[in-house]
Amino acid sequence: MLTRTRTPETAPIEVKAGLGSVALRDVCKTFAAPRRGIAAVTALRELSLDARPGEIVAVVGPSGCGKTTLLELVCALSEPDTGTVETAPAALMAQRDLLLPWHNAVDNAALALRVAGVERGAARERAGALLREFGLGGFERARPDELSGGMRQRVAFARTLLSGRTILCLDEPFASLDALTRQEMQDWLAEALLAQPRTVVLVTHDVEEAIVLADRVLVMSPRPGRVVASLDVDVARPRRRTDPALVALRERALQELRA
Amino acid sequence: MTAVILLVALLGGWEAYARLSGIDEFVLPAPSAVAAALYEDRSLLWSNFTVTAGEIGLGMLLAIVLGLACSVAIHFSAPLRRALYPLLVGSQTIPIVLIAPLLVAWWGFGLLPKLAIVALVCFFPIVVPTLDALDRVDADLRKLMRTFGASRWQTFRMVEAPAALPGVLTGAKLSVAIAAIAATLAELAGSDAGLGNLMLKAIPQFETARAFAAVLILSAFSVALFALLALAERLLLPWAHQPRGTAP
């Protein structure tokens, strides 16, 4: 099933040079029963998903529909039972910030660079510059327990960007934040991705978040997860969440979710 | 404050009982007699203290080195975990009282059997919290490191080892408390110096106050070591002791 909405200020999705793409074809993934008396779980059944270079694809679905399994496949953290996954290396950003409590903001943001073998001073310099760009100037030396939830997610996003991966997998990145901070962070992320384009697979159960951020929204069925609808969000950025086109799309996505 | 009042009351009661009941001084010396022994025998106590302190310090160092090596080996290898863990638990059931004289028979009256016993006793309390901390490292953190292309060793060095440090320090604190007992026991089994040796000789010489003074020094040393470790914990791992706050 395919639904499309067009608005006058249509912005075509450009294919950005140098960015990776994601192609999942008829992917199935079943988890064996952990012990007797518990059923095996088919997380994904014949799921196909494409993200073109530079495209932001949001995946929405009810809890337990295999969204996280999907991202683990894209990030090569697990292998599909059947089907194929073709993707450039992807970096994962999770709901929990997963910052290392013993490092300050700069060293946390520099983690992926350090893994890649970048020398400490150079890594700190690049991480510090990005943090300042993200409005965290003055907090470079603060430990995670001294930062607010929104700030921590910004540090985590900086770390993800600095991994140099052209594909980002975002797993409900703002789900642990309060509603107001979450909206702020969504707007902030939209801006950050305009400045530093990446191919993004965003998994969320927040339909509004998906519509505000994505070029395309895929709606998943309850377990076993399949894509049941695909909505193009051809609305120019920056977007306002009160934009009638966005509101209409949100209603449509919610309908698909209930169907 | 209440602790101080309680201590003063206890010491006062003890002093009064020792003086007024007419009990022999070599059966129960008064606190004042212990204090006098502490002063009069200071050079004797000091020279024996340095011996025991060395046994405790080096023995714990040995336990920490071996304990960490063992924890890391077990952490990296599932077969080693299955093979070594039962042996480690078994090593804790060896009655030290029995094995101490044997070690003296093998290695003589010197430092070596003391180190072995202190290390044997302190090893297990270091391995268990360390391994526990390594095992409890967030699985999502390991996944994150994998998406960054980190090797197993990088993940260990950058994530698991720092995360395990609080466990190591907890283990060291647990060990301090029993290291003094282990060292004393080892000296009782056969030695020519040390506070345990001094205690053993003081009793038949009716120098009970001196034995009490030795005990006092030994426990003060343990408390000081413990405080030192607690301080190191506060300085090295400030992140492990503060609740996750909100906005600064």
* B42 contacts chain A (CB < 8 A): no
Cβ neighbours around A135 below 10 Å, total: 12
Contacts of A116 in chain B (CB under 8 A): 148-149
Task: Name the residue of chain B whose CA is nearest to A100's CA.
Answer: B159
pLDDT (tens, 9 = 90+) of chain B, 248 residues, equals 888 999 999 999 999 998 888 888 888 888 998 999 999 999 999 999 999 999 999 999 999 999 999 999 999 998 999 998 888 888 888 888 888 889 988 998 889 999 999 999 999 999 999 999 999 999 999 999 999 999 999 999 999 999 999 999 999 999 998 999 999 999 998 888 899 999 989 888 888 999 999 999 999 999 999 999 999 999 888 888 655 444 33
Which positions ≥6 away from B9 have C-beta within 8 Å? none
- CB atoms B138 and A163 under 8 Å: no
Q: A3 pLDDT exceeds 80?
A: no
Q: Which ranges of chain B would DSSP assign to H, the alpha helix?
A: 2-20, 31-40, 42-76, 78-92, 96-107, 111-135, 139-147, 152-155, 161-188, 195-202, 208-236
pLDDT at residue A4, rounded to an integer: 39
Phi and psi at residue A7, to the nearest 5°? -120, 160
Interface mutation vs chain B, best among A79, A96, A98, most B CBs within 10 Å:
A98
Closest CA to A21 of A196, A218, A203, A199: A199
Would you call A102 an interface residue with chain B, using a CB distance cutoff of 8 Å? yes
> Is the alpha carbon torsion for B109, B114, B115, B119 positive or negative?
positive
> Residue B136: its chain A contacts at CB < 8 A?
none
Question: Cβ separation of A114 and B158 shorter than 8 Å?
Answer: yes
Residue A126 has a pLDDT of: 94
Q: In this structure, which amino acid lies at residue A254? A: L
Q: Do A112 and B243 touch (CB under 8 A)?
A: no
Q: Vertex A94, ends A92 and A96: CA angle to 5°?
A: 150
Peptide bond into A238 cis (omega under 30): yes
Summarize pLDDT for A180-228 with one digit per residue, the tens.
Answer: 889 989 999 999 899 889 999 999 988 999 999 999 999 988 878 788 8
Q: What is the pLDDT of residues A7-44, one digit of tens each?
A: 333 333 444 557 889 999 988 888 887 788 788 888 88
| Nearest neighbour of A111 by CB, restricted to B158, B163, B247 | B158
The per-residue pLDDT for B91 is 82
Please judge whether A143 and B247 are an interchain contact, meaning their C-beta atoms are less than 8 angstroms apart: no
With beta carbons less than 8 A apart as the criterion, state whether A166 and A17 touch: no
At residue B242, the pLDDT reads: 55
Any CB–CB contact under 8 A between A33 and chain B? no
Alpha carbon B129 to chain centroid, angstroms: 15
Q: How far is the C-alpha of A104 from the C-alpha of A139, rounded, in Å?
A: 9
Q: How many angstroms separate the CA atoms of A25 and A46, rounded?
A: 7
Q: What is the pLDDT of residues A130-175, one digit of tens each?
A: 999 898 999 999 999 999 988 999 999 999 999 989 999 999 988 8
CB-based contacts of A128, cutoff 8 Å, min separation 6:
A106, A109, A140
